[in-house]
């Protein structure tokens, strides 16, 4: 009888790529963190805050859950970091909103917010944030804190009015309400209205909240 050599028989299956465990090398840290944030935005957008887990984010990112905890700690902190990244364009443009004549700040603010929602690049992460904030108190608190600290207080500081913070919040509420109806709930005819027409109609109202009597 002929013996069976070590090379006979079916070949062993090639193992697939394993999720990386432990801390990555320093040179990979930035890329790993960005990959986790991309996965977090995807998970929060698809599942909402309540149904998203650290384990699910790790699976989508292709990393061990320990790495998510290493970079961010809790799910709340992951969400906050994801919001900060998605809110980046607002932070980049806020100085432009604050520059220029005060009697035109309503139009600049309205145009900035509508422009961010109109862009496909920024609309998807904004939708994920708003949907999570609407359905979960923790997510709402994170979103509210970032909006207040990064945008509303800066605008209020330019108004030089005793009720400046209330004015800034009313202006923001006007724009958030429009964004909810147009982009999230998609109620017609607002959902299909021309963006320039929206700016033309809404900017004077926002201006009134900020500087009106």
pLDDT (tens digit per residue) in 85-122: 776 666 666 667 777 788 898 999 899 889 888 988 77
Across the range 72-83, mean pLDDT stands at 87
Q: Over the stretch 26-45, which tens digit does the pLDDT of each residue have?
A: 445 678 898 999 898 888 87
Residue with tokens 């109109």: 118
Provide the pLDDT for residue 166: 93
In whole angstroms, what is the distance from residue 96 CA to residue 10 CA?
Answer: 66
Q: Please check the confidence at residue 14 and state whether its pLDDT lies above 50.
A: no
Residues 134, 181 contacting (CB under 8 angstroms): no
Provide the pLDDT for residue 112: 86
Across the range 70-92, mean pLDDT stands at 80
Q: Over the stretch 144-194, which tens digit does the pLDDT of each residue have?
A: 777 777 778 888 888 888 899 999 999 989 998 998 899 988 999 999 999
Rounded to 5°, the CA angle 174-145-101 comes to: 50
Q: Please check the confidence at residue 10 and state whether its pLDDT lies above 70.
A: no
Provide the pLDDT for residue 67: 93
Residues 74, 92 contacting (CB under 8 angstroms): no
Backbone CA torsion sign across 33, 52, 85, 138: negative
Residues 38, 57 contacting (CB under 8 angstroms): no
Q: Please check the confidence at residue 125 and state whether its pLDDT lies above 50.
A: yes
Q: Please check the confidence at residue 66 and state whether its pLDDT lies above 90.
A: yes
Provide the pLDDT for residue 28: 52
* Beta carbons within 8 Å of 103's beta carbon, 6+ residues apart: 207, 211
**Assigned token pair, 115:** 């422009």
């Amino acid at each position: 009888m002929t013996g069976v050599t070590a090379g006979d028989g079916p070949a062993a299956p090639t193992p697939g790529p394993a999720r990386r465990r432990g801390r990555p090398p320093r040179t990979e840290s930035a890329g790993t963190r960005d990959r986790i944030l991309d996965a977090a935005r995807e998970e929060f957008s698809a599942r909402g805050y309540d149904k998203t887990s650290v384990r699910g984010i790790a699976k989508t990112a292709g990393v061990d859950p320990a790495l998510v905890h290493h970079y961010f700690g809790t799910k709340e902190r992951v969400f906050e970091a994801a919001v900060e990244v998605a809110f980046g364009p607002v932070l980049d443009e806020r100085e432009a909103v604050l520059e220029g004549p005060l009697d035109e700040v309503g139009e600049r603010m309205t145009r900035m917010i509508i422009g961010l929602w109109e862009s496909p690049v920024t609309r998807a992460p904004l939708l994920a944030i708003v949907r999570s904030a609407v359905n979960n108190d923790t997510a709402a608190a994170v979103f509210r804190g970032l909006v207040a600290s990064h945008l509303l207080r800066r605008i209020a500081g330019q108004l030089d009015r005793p009720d400046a913070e209330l004015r800034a919040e009313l202006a923001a509420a006007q724009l958030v309400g429009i964004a909810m109806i147009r982009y999230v709930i998609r109620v017609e005819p607002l959902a299909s209205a021309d963006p320039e027409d929206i700016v033309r109609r809404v900017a004077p109202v926002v201006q009134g909240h900020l500087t009106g009597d």
